[in-house]
Structure 1
């Protein structure tokens, strides 16, 4: 029993009843949270990254298990992992997973962002990460809606000549997002869009359908013969339309109210 207690408290300090963790406590447990597996797409093997469910006793269980899309978004889009190396390891699943987890541990970009999210979460639970100073940015609801609008993405001209849309696609690499660098806000918006778009009652899907039809009409889109230049114009037009969507704003405000305790920004 004594040994179990010592193990439980390893890396954990107490200051006046406040649980104090270290950055190392978080990083060393990446293998308990993140994994990369080999998936088959036809005859091709591809890398599939995903989250593991943490045991309820883990100090980050509530954050990770109830916000998997946010955490997974950061692990996918706030990293600088060598994707080529990952793809080279598809013949050895064990080596692939090990390389991925170790790469995350070495990725200062990801760790800085993830630790910031964790720090705000722990603060909401009256705990802290040693040496991490908490600050919250101020964003407007219009700014959040602008970020969220980019997840309604006219992705490509399909082989049949029509526009292929992606709702909730990752925004890394989108030229229109290069000036927006707030990964946690992006992850929050991504999650809000993906989880609420299918719900007819939110009105988001209706706004998107209306906006897409309106913009394609303005651009004189002809089914079966969409040009790449038209695709870009439609993409920007629908993004602008959704940035003004009152339904999207209401959803973002409601989701923010649920999660504001552990977010690193304040909406004004």
Structure 2
């Protein structure tokens, strides 16, 4: 019944467009588009009337990167943050950095969370921590985004107290968040809890041997020469893990060295 009524309304509106000033139909058409967003006839009328809601729907139907898509995207981007961000991602993929940054900044100015998130990550990667700190505040109303970026920033700065606080707050928002799993996997929280509580640097002196790295396949030979890897961020920890796995394939090395895992790099089985 609703579909039938929407089609009848579409026909009536189309008729009225011919005989009335289209400006008089803007609000009714916008209301109809909001209530029946998936009606193609209604959307076509909205496009003819140049209504932003209809044009935005058409934008996402077009082939990304095509001339019509770019033309319509540039028209809509100043008003729609998600369109601005979509354009920026397209220009990043096509290596047009000036255009990418232009539309990314526009999306940020419009308060679009994913754009703020992307820019904050880039600033952290570039070690522009003060700028990242300022930008992150725009995500206060989106707590999962906010505390994830807070945690990444604290890890990059190796700020133990901030790591613990951001981890606690993000766990409340989403205990299964991927970065929570990574932090747990590398035992980073245990490291910072020990460091912050004791206010001293933990050494590698009394770390137990990793049985897989301290014995040959036969499981009998133990080596007393210990080598430890240290890293201050998740990417480096992941690279170190891969490196240790490769090194442990070399018989000479595992006969003469034990490749330990520091508390901030402890593989969980």
Q: TM-score range by the shorter chain?
A: under 0.3
The structure that has the greater radius of gyration is: 2
- Give TM-score scaled by structure 2 length: 0.20
- Give TM-score scaled by structure 1 length: 0.21
Q: Which of the pair is proportionally richer in helix?
A: 2
